[in-house]
Structure 1
Amino acid sequence: MTHEKYASCIEACIKCAQACEHCADSCLSEQNVQNMAECVRLDRDCAELCWTAAALMSRGSQFVAGICGLCAEACDACGTECGQHEAEHCQSCAEACRQCAEECRQLAGAAV
C-alpha cells in the first residue's frame, strides 16, 4: 500500500498537528495573550498543513511532494516562533515542528 512508505512522515505530521493544536489553545490561556498572537497564528497554519499532508500521503496523492515541502516551511516558521517562548507547550510544539520539518523535507526531496 502506498501510505505505508509514508508512515513515518504521516506519524510526524499527526504528532506535529496535535502539538500545534494544543499549543494554540494553551497560548490563549497565557497571561499576556497579545505576546502569543503570532504563535497562535503559526500554530493554526502549521496544524492545518500537517493534517492536510497526512491526508494526502494516506491516499497516495500526486501532490505529496508539494504539500510536504510547504509543510516543512510552515513547521520551520512555527518551530522558530514557538522556540522563542518559555512555556512548556511552546517548547514541545517547537520540537514536534523540527521533527516534522525534517521528515517532510526528506520526503519532498525523495518524492520529486
Structure 2
Amino acid sequence: MNQPTASALDNQILLDALHRCVAACEHCATACLRDEHVGHMVGCIRLDRDCADICALTARLVARGSEHAKHVMKECVEVCRLCEAECAKHSHDHCQRCAAACKACAEACQAYLSE
C-alpha cells in the first residue's frame, strides 16, 4: 500500500481548512438571515457568501492540482481575513465560529503559499 507523501498530507490539511471555512460561512450567512435585525447583518452575510465561494473554488483548484490555485489562493486569504474581521465584530456564536474558521483558513492558505 502506498503511503501518502508529505505534500499530499499538507494538501489534505489545507483542503480540510477550506471546507471547514465554507461550512462555517454558509452556516453564518443562514443564521444571520434569521436575525431579527437582519439589516445590521448585511455586510456579514455578503462577506460570508463571498468567502464560502472563494474557499470552495480554491479547494477545487487545489484538489485538481491546477496551476491557478496559488493565484486564487491569494484572493482567498484576503477574503478570509475580511470575513474574519467582520464576523469578529458580532457576538453571535455562529459569527465567532465563522471568524475562527476564516482565520484558520487564511493561515492554512498563507502557509501553503509560503512553501
Q: TM above 0.5, one fold?
A: yes
Q: TM-score, normalised by structure 2?
A: 0.91
Q: TM-score, normalised by structure 1?
A: 0.93
Residue ranges of structure 2 left out of the alignment (5+ in a row) = none
Cα distance in 1 between the residues matched to 2:26 and 2:63 = 20
Aligned match of 1:100: 105
Aligned match of 2:91: 86
Aligned match of 1:52: 57
1:19 is displaced (CA, Å) by 0.2
Conserved? CA contact 1:64–1:108, under 8 Å: no
Computing the radius of gyration from Cα coordinates, the structure with the larger value is 2
Residue ranges of structure 1 left out of the alignment (5+ in a row) = none
Q: Deviating runs (4+, > 3 A) in structure 1?
A: none
Cα distance in 1 between the residues matched to 2:30 and 2:97 = 14
Q: How many residues align?
A: 110
Identity of aligned residues (%): 41
SS in 1 for 2:114: helix
Conserved? CA contact 1:10–1:54, under 8 Å: yes
Are 2:37 and 1:29 equivalent residues in the alignment?
A: no
